[in-house]
Each structure stands twice: as C-alpha cells, then as structure tokens.
Amino acid sequence: MAYDERVAERVRELIAVRPDVVEKRMFGGLGWMLRGNMAVGAMSTGGLLVRVEPEEVEALIREPHVGTFGREGSKPMKGFVVVEPDGLSEAEFADWVDRGCDRALSLPAK
C-alpha cells in the first residue's frame, strides 16, 4: 500500500457528495481532483495533502499538525500543505477536505 488507506477512506466519504470527483494515483499516494485541479490527497507518509491559497501557507504551517509539502532538500510546493490527520477530530478533518475542495473549485477548470 503506497498511502494510508484510513486517510483515503475518510476523504472518500467526505468528497463523494461533490460532483465530478476524479480519484487518481499521484505523488506516491492518492489524489482527488475537482474540475481537473488537485484538491486533496492521501500521502504515502500518512498525511493529508490539502490545496490552499498560496499566500495562506506561511500562516497555516504555524498551526498544529500542519507542514509544508515538497521533496526534502527542495523548496516547498506553493499552495499546498500536509496535515497530520491523527491529531484531528472528524470535524477538523472535514474542514481541511472542504478547504482543499473549495480552493480547487476556485481555479479555472482544466
């Protein structure tokens, strides 16, 4: 298994209510796309990848359970954070999934 199946199942339950969701393997894990834009992902490291406004990243990574996304030794990817789901309530987890979906839907369709 290349990603945390528990995280994937939690995302699937939440994202299933949205139209035109595409699930695909990416970044060594599993990602969910809305209108061709990545919204959230289940990382191979167990984290939840969340698309956010690029200018929000610095403030978000100061929150508990939130870090940058990118390869070690490289600059972090703009507009994405990784959230450690084990410390989150179901409502907090759902809020992060919604945040990623809202950001993906705010972008032009691909």
User: Model confidence over 61-80: pLDDT tens digits?
Assistant: 999 999 998 777 777 779 99
Name the domain count of the chain. Answer: 1
- Dihedral angle at the C-alpha atoms of 79, 43, 40, 17, nearest 10 degrees? -170
**CATH code of the domain in which 37 resides:** 3.90.1150.30
State the residue range of the domain holding 54: 5-105
| pLDDT tens digits, one per residue of 1-22 | 578 899 999 999 999 999 989 9
Domain annotation covers residue 43: yes
The reported pTM is: 0.92
Domain annotation covers residue 80: yes
Domain annotation covers residue 110: no
Domain annotation covers residue 65: yes
